Amino acid sequence: MITLPKPKPDVLARRDAVHEGLRAIMQDRGVITDATKLKPYETDGLSAYRQMPLAVVLPETTEQVAAVLRFCHQNGVRVVPRGAGTSLAGGALPLEDAVVIGMMRMNQIVEVNYRDRYAVVQAGVTNLGITKAVEADGFFYAPDPSSQLACMIGGNIGMNSGGAHCLKYGVTANNVLGIKLVTIEGEILELGGTHLDTAGYDWLGIVVGSEGQLGIATEITVRILRAPEGTRAMLAAFDGNEVAGACVDAIIASGIIPVALEFMDRPAIHACEAFAHAGYPLDAEAMLIIEVEGSVAEQDWLLGQIKEICARFNPISLKVSQSAEESAAIWKGRKGAFGAVGRISPDYLCMDGTIPTSTLPLVLRRIGEMSVQYGLQVANIFHAGDGNLHPLIMFDANDPTSMHKAEAFGADVLRLCVEVGGCLTGEHGVGVEKRDLMSVQFTEIELEAQRRVKSAFDPEWLLNTAKVFPLQAGTASAGPDALPHAA
């Protein structure tokens, strides 16, 4: 189980006063303090980790966020920001002495500007909600994490989320132009603007992916893009994981950049087909979803090239989608993949490592071996094009041994990613889940440099503390209160 920092006894002792103060700021709306009502907030998409918070606040304006943060800062109260609570890394896991600030009431589209191709949205707008707001006019917002239906743009900023289509369009960081950020002191900063490359330091580069540790984003200006003339998906089925991995490597090595290049292995194919009825090849060991876009001629040419490459790897079948409905079904299966695995296993840990694509066959083989070694099933689903792995380790949370094994298995997978030259997280963030593995990736000096950035924004370490950095004795910058205690 994960270790959380020792709650501050003085804050716990002032529980009622803190509740009172929050209610006064919020004028009695959107402050949750009742234990029963707090319960559903004790966890997020990583439900194996749970901790009841001190209170939940649901602000409706940036000013309220600022007032709540100012209050927490003045009173030394920790804060955990929360979007839709879909984090698979425990990014929104509360602390016993922390106030959770839930951003889901800030769900308005503030402005859409087609001429300069940007949209200003509040942090609680869902990722898909942005595209829905502009798609009738032929635009879209590119990053598309699998949870895009539900996850919120504020959380995407925190975790620098990616998605299937990031192979071509880049991740959140490449699609954000401006952020209204509230600091822990309650100051409202306007970072970036409505166009690329504002003058001065690249503040957006620091804030995007900072996992809610530097401030809370309340309003985000995102780049919206013209939708392509058309897209087409194809399915390539293979009789082994490694050969499919080798095929991915060959496609990327040939210089072709499809909009998406996704990998699913046998357990994943079966689970997703049961949910989406997309015509996935049930006899295959591994399958690639490859999507291209552009004019019909461009699509045909690209698909022709890709088919030729696939043919070199003895595919069982190659199938090009013939209609928009068929493509939609293919993606529905892929995007619902994590949940669909819930059909074959009560619980899973979704890992999120990134590796150089050339090491795919090796990494897949090693994961297969670990699966045997730990006696736990794995479904492999991932953004193969950019080497972002999502092995889903299936376990039974009602059985503690199984859970410990899954955690150890997951850690081994991530160590393997680092070993082959990759990194711990592609898009889910570090959260609490991978916190203790950060020292596998970084030296103590590198970690200390990162901690100093956090300290510059939040000297008392009140914002989403206990995430990202390993809790260890002797790290002065984490503050004495961050020292671990036995949980």
Question: In angstroms, what is the minimal distance from the CB of 424 to ligand SF4?
Answer: 25
- Helix boundaries (H) for 78-126: none
Is residue 150 part of the contact set for other proteins (CB under 8 A)? yes
Is residue 54 part of the contact set for other proteins (CB under 8 A)? no
Residues 419-478 that bind other proteins (CB under 8 A): none
Residue 432 tokens, joined: 């609490």
Interface residue with ligand SF4 among 76, 339, 356, 479 (CB under 6 A) is 339
Interface residue with other proteins among 4, 11, 44, 464 (CB under 8 A) is 44
Rounded to 10 degrees, the C-alpha dihedral 225/228/234/240 comes to -30
Interface residue with ligand SF4 among 30, 342, 356, 368 (CB under 6 A) is 342
* CB closer to other proteins out of 58 and 121: 58
Total residues at interface with other proteins (CB under 8 A): 50
* CB closer to other proteins out of 318 and 403: 403
Candidate segments 174-182, 207-215, 284-292, 326-334, binder of other proteins by CB under 8 A:
326-334
Residue 389 tokens, joined: 């792995």
Residue 113: its H or E element = strand 109-113
Is residue 43 part of the contact set for other proteins (CB under 8 A)? yes
Interface residue with other proteins among 33, 51, 64, 86 (CB under 8 A) is 86
Interface residue with other proteins among 5, 21, 53, 85 (CB under 8 A) is 85
Interface residue with other proteins among 124, 143, 178, 267 (CB under 8 A) is 124
Residue 3 tokens, joined: 């270790």
* Partner in contact with 438, chosen from ligand SF4, other proteins, none, beta carbon below 5 to 8 Å by kind: none
In one letter, which amino acid is 140?
F
Is residue 279 part of the contact set for ligand SF4 (CB under 6 A)? no
Question: In angstroms, what is the minimal distance from the CB of 151 to ligand SF4?
Answer: 12
Is residue 139 part of the contact set for other proteins (CB under 8 A)? no
Angle (CA) 351-356-358 rounded to 5° is 120
Is residue 398 part of the contact set for other proteins (CB under 8 A)? yes
Lay out the site mask for other proteins across 327-346 (x = CB under 8 A, - = otherwise).
-x--xx--xxxxxxxxx--x
* Partner in contact with 261, chosen from other proteins, ligand SF4, none, beta carbon below 5 to 8 Å by kind: none
Is residue 404 part of the contact set for other proteins (CB under 8 A)? no
* CB closer to ligand SF4 out of 49 and 139: 49
* CA 437 from centre of chain: 17
* CB closer to other proteins out of 216 and 423: 216
Q: Which of 371, 360, 380, 351 is nearest to 421 (CA)?
A: 360
Q: How far apart are CA 35 and CA 21, in angstroms?
A: 18
Interface residue with other proteins among 9, 40, 421, 459 (CB under 8 A) is 40
Question: In angstroms, what is the minimal distance from the CB of 25 to ligand SF4?
Answer: 29
Q: How far apart are CA 265 and CA 282, in angstroms?
A: 10
* CB closer to ligand SF4 out of 346 and 459: 346
CB of 458 within 8 A of CB of 181? no
* Partner in contact with 59, chosen from ligand SF4, other proteins, none, beta carbon below 5 to 8 Å by kind: none
Interface residue with other proteins among 48, 225, 243, 440 (CB under 8 A) is 48
- The SS3 assignment for 389 reads strand
- The SS3 assignment for 191 reads strand
Q: How far apart are CA 349 and CA 423, in angstroms?
A: 17
CB of 293 within 8 A of CB of 230? yes
* CB closer to ligand SF4 out of 342 and 356: 342
CB of 261 within 8 A of CB of 268? no
Q: How far apart are CA 100 and CA 81, in angstroms?
A: 6
CB proximity list for 71: less than 8 A, separation 6 or greater: 21, 22, 25, 77, 186
Rounded to 10 degrees, the C-alpha dihedral 102/104/106/108 comes to 170
User: For 172, which DSSP code?
Assistant: G
What are the residues binding ligand SF4 (CB under 6 A)? Answer: 339, 342
